[in-house]
Amino acid sequence: MFSFEIISAQGQARAGVFSTPHGNLETPVFAPVGTQATVKTLTPAQLDDLGASLVLANTYHLYLRPGDDLVADMGGLHRFMQWPRPMLTDSGGYQVFSLAQTRKVDDDGVTFKSHIDGSTHRFTPEKSIQIQEHLGADIIMAFDECSDPNDHEYSKTAMERTHRWAERSLNAKERSDQALFGIIQGGVDPGLRAVSAQFIASLPFPGIAIGGLSIGETKQEMHATLDLVNRLLPENKPRYLMGVGTPEDLINGISRGVDIFDCVLPTRLARHNAAFSSEGRLNLMNATFARDQRPIDEACQCYTCQTFTRAYLRHLIVAKELLAGTLLSIHNLHALIQLVKDIRVSIIDNTFKSKVAAWLLNWHGNAERTKIY
Amino acid sequence: MFSFEIISAQGQARAGVFSTPHGNLETPVFAPVGTQATVKTLTPAQLDDLGASLVLANTYHLYLRPGDDLVADMGGLHRFMQWPRPMLTDSGGYQVFSLAQTRKVDDDGVTFKSHIDGSTHRFTPEKSIQIQEHLGADIIMAFDECSDPNDHEYSKTAMERTHRWAERSLNAKERSDQALFGIIQGGVDPGLRAVSAQFIASLPFPGIAIGGLSIGETKQEMHATLDLVNRLLPENKPRYLMGVGTPEDLINGISRGVDIFDCVLPTRLARHNAAFSSEGRLNLMNATFARDQRPIDEACQCYTCQTFTRAYLRHLIVAKELLAGTLLSIHNLHALIQLVKDIRVSIIDNTFKSKVAAWLLNWHGNAERTKIY
């Protein structure tokens, strides 16, 4: 049911096709995040228009609200939110570790309090897989523990737990129409990362995720980790860099062999009135845009840039009109999705290496890396 | 540039075509309200999809923010908000009288404080027309004073002022590509209403609005006023019932010769999680919808009803996702626009009289009349 074919490669960069029950996923791909079974402010029709293929949803949030059993009763996530193409759910691990005010990890799992009502819940690898089977995404994730990358001792403990939980996640899985990806941890320690990459690669996962990055390490550390990990991973499995990133991160990640990305940055920036552009990140609330008749980015083909001026977008922001968030989300998501599509084409026609420097330069002003959940 | 042709009539109900610089407007028509140059939460593409033709914007709001001079510099309202079809602006009169915390009326105009920053401003008929000429809608309104319908003395004073201001509005008008409509006032007093209808009809307005209704009078009073006024108005000018209304109000208004309606109700209800339906008004936050796989209204052809379940809409509302407001706005606007289109077809094929009772019955559960600005 799942197969991954690399149709072209240039250096470490790969263009592939991952087949799923909801259609072929062309990689590299950037996935918008639909935390609560909706990519914030956008209809599925708008997502489709802007070229989205893979959409991510969050297990932690959907487990709490509306409940994975309700989603299952409504026919699963695809039908519930009416997204007909491939979907991915995370394991809930990262969000439990980062969001929950109080949580207690043990070797069996993690007990935490809901951010909604303070009620107590417990996730184990088996529970995470059960929830993800209820949700029904095409790609699901093993339960893992994400550590502070600069805390070597904790990174080692968390990595070892992640490995045991990876095996338990595999054993817990019952549905055959979902691809379970394993997750590599190990912080920024090359030794730990190598051990983790080799261990996860040795298990029968159809795809492999790189966790624990873009959460406080330097760019150099992220790049070194990707270089190391990607050398150790098998060629024939898709590689997913979780929670990344900025335009520059995508270019750098693809150069280092990554196939799949997701990040809330485009929609989160939109809610903060910010837009990606080749001039750098723009804050559309800025008074200098009050009478600016240009689109956000003159080279952009998205609905927002093809239709509206910066002056109008600024007016919507100043007048607190929600349409601003919708229009900026369309632009920011389109920018990343289209960038990755352009890169894919360049890998196929063997021009990636000659274009990568220009892309990095073009998107440099959007470089601040922020992991926002 | 402006002409109104009645292509069919049944009883007092008329089907017509009003030609404007932005295309022919088929009447009767329901206009969504885009207060601040945006119909809240919807893109122009979505408005177009749901069948909108005429869109209203508010002079008071746009004068304060972003300023009518800015809109003019940006090419006018159509270009600024990218609505290519006919537009209408109100005169600002109603909103100044109802919204402004402190305002002082004299025979020359009204002085008021901005609801945004408390700054002092003054509208006169001349100023209102100037602002509306800057905004550039196809249909603009004479400056009027809206009175408490049950206060006879004030209704008389306000009506007389409205008449003098109607003449001054006509004299102030300079652009030839905008149709200036006069406004009838007079509260619910038949004598005043008759005087006002005859006076406004005697002036060279290409269209006539009925103001001061749906603001506290009974349904019977509204219907009696419409019956009276429409008997006195010339056949060959479009009639616009301002700020109305509910599905029942539209059916009753068309039966009494009204051609144009606008109301914020559909988008306002959407923000309060409510939807029009043939079962009556539904509050989608209700727990009974948690696992309801039906659309809001099984007979509805809008994107929301063709795509999403009540269960999903309720989830979005409970999870405080903005997409809920967008999807409910699409449904509520489509419901009124389609109802009026269906009525238009029935007037043309001479079935209106045989269908009107069924329509009133079908929409009865949505009857609460609320004028919300």
Q: What is the structure's pLDDT at B371?
A: 36
User: Is B73 one of the annotated active-site residues of the chain?
Assistant: no
Q: With a cut of 50, say whether residue A369 has pLDDT above it.
A: no
Amino acid making up residue B133 = E
Q: With a cut of 50, say whether residue B52 has pLDDT above it.
A: yes
Instruction: Give the Cα separation of B157 and B126 in Å (integer).
Output: 20
Q: How deeply is A105 buried, as exposed, middle or buried, from its count of CB atoms within 10 A (0-12, 13-18, 19+)?
A: middle
Cross-chain residue pair B80–A311, CB shorter than 8 Å: yes
Contacts of B231 (CB under 8 A, 6+ apart): none
Closest chain A residue by Cα to residue B37: A316
Among B66, B303, B312, the residue with its CB nearest the CB of A45 is B303
- Per residue in A301-324, pLDDT tens? 999 999 999 999 999 999 999 999
Q: Which of A47, A62, A74 to mutate to test the interface with B (most CBs of B within 10 A)?
A: A74
- Per residue in B180-239, pLDDT tens? 999 999 999 999 999 999 999 999 999 999 999 998 899 999 999 999 999 999 999 999
- Looking only at the bridges linking them, the beta strands covering A3-10 and A13-20 are antiparallel
Provide the shortest C-alpha distance from residue B37 to chain A (in Å).
8
Which tokens belong to B7? Answer: 């292509």
Provide the shortest C-alpha distance from residue A335 to chain B (in Å).
19
Q: Identify the CA nearest to A299 among candidates A279, A313, A326.
A: A279
- Per residue in B307-337, pLDDT tens? 999 999 999 999 999 999 999 999 999 999 9
Q: What is the structure's pLDDT at A367?
A: 56
Residues of chain B with Cβ-Cβ distance to A303 below 8 Å are 43, 45
Cross-chain residue pair B312–A65, CB shorter than 8 Å: no
Q: What is the structure's pLDDT at A100?
A: 61
Average per-residue pLDDT for chain A = 95
Cross-chain residue pair B291–A74, CB shorter than 8 Å: yes
- Per residue in A62-87, pLDDT tens? 999 999 999 999 999 999 999 999 99
Closest chain A residue by Cα to residue B46: A46
What letter does residue B322 receive in the DSSP assignment? Answer: T
Amino acid making up residue B303 = Y
- Per residue in B12-39, pLDDT tens? 999 999 999 999 999 999 999 999 999 9
Instruction: Give the Cα separation of B296 and B309 in Å (integer).
Output: 7
For tokens 């492999």, the residue is A208
Q: How many CB pairs under 8 A join A and B?
A: 111
Instruction: Give the Cα separation of B250 and A311 in Å (integer).
Output: 36
- Per residue in B146-172, pLDDT tens? 988 888 999 999 999 999 999 999 999
Residues within 8 A of A (CB atoms), B 81-100 only: 81-82
φ, ψ for residue A192, nearest 5 deg: -65, -45
Q: Is A271 on the interface with B (CB under 8 A)?
A: no
Q: Is A32 on the interface with B (CB under 8 A)?
A: no
Q: What is the structure's pLDDT at B369?
A: 44
Flag the least confident range among A181-185, B92-96, B198-202. Answer: B92-96
Residues of chain B with Cβ-Cβ distance to A70 below 8 Å are 290-291, 311, 315
Q: Is A52 on the interface with B (CB under 8 A)?
A: no
Pure H helices in A104-232: 125-135, 152-172, 190-202, 219-232
Q: With a cut of 80, say whether residue B372 has pLDDT above it.
A: no
User: Where does the pLDDT of residue A101 fall: very low under 50, low under 70, confident under 90, or very high at 90 and above?
Assistant: low
- Per residue in B240-268, pLDDT tens? 999 998 999 999 999 999 999 999 999 99
Q: What is the structure's pLDDT at B100?
A: 61
Catalytic residue numbers of A, as ranges: 90, 262
Q: With a cut of 60, say whether residue A341 has pLDDT above it.
A: yes
Q: Is B76 on the interface with A (CB under 8 A)?
A: no
Strand ranges for chain B from DSSP E: 3-10, 13-20, 23-27, 29-31, 55-57, 87-89, 103-105, 110-113, 120-123, 139-141, 179-184, 207-210, 239-241, 260-262, 274-275, 282-283
Q: What is the structure's pLDDT at B373?
A: 30
Q: Is A120 on the interface with B (CB under 8 A)?
A: no
Region of B110 on the Ramachandran plot (φ > 0 left; ψ -120 to 50 alpha; else beta) = beta
Q: Is residue B95 a contact partner of residue B58, using CB atoms and an 8 Å limit?
A: yes
- Per residue in B343-357, pLDDT tens? 999 999 999 999 999
Sheet harboring B139-141: ordered strands across?
B29-31, B260-262, B239-241, B207-210, B179-184, B139-141, B87-89, B55-57
What value does the mean pLDDT take over residues A344-357? 97
Q: Is B288 on the interface with A (CB under 8 A)?
A: no
Instruction: Give the Cα separation of A363 and A366 in Å (integer).
Output: 6
Angle at B228 between CA B224 and CA B234, to 5 degrees: 145
Closest chain B residue by Cα to residue A307: B82
Reported as half-sphere exposure (CB side, CA atoms, 13 A), residue B369 has a value of: 16
Region of A187 on the Ramachandran plot (φ > 0 left; ψ -120 to 50 alpha; else beta) = left
Provide the shortest C-alpha distance from residue B95 to chain A (in Å).
17
Provide the shortest C-alpha distance from residue B49 to chain A (in Å).
12
What value does the mean pLDDT take over residues B275-302? 95
Q: What is the structure's pLDDT at A373?
A: 30
Instruction: Give the Cα separation of B252 and B369 in Å (integer).
Output: 13
Instruction: Give the Cα separation of B222 and B30 in Å (integer).
Output: 18
